[in-house]
Amino acid sequence: MPRLIANCLGSITGLAHQLYTDSEVSHTDVDRALFLPADDPDARAFALANITSGATPGTFGITPAGVRA
């Protein structure tokens, strides 16, 4: 199984369950399953880069620029 699929398996499984029960999955549902920020394009791009580089969705935090953690 490719690493990207393995790391996102929880999100994929949740979306598959939703598709089975509700017969539809929206783009917003996918974003939520991958823990992508909806209102900050830079944070969204950073989260996608983290996922692509091997991080599991939901296991890392995104701090907006200019905000101290």
Torsion of CA 21, 22, 24, 28, to 10 degrees: -100
Q: Which residues lie below 8 Å from residue 30, measured CB to CB, with a gap of 6+?
A: 15
pLDDT tens digits along 2-58: 999 999 999 999 999 999 999 999 999 999 999 999 888 999 999 999 999 999 999
pTM summary value: 0.82
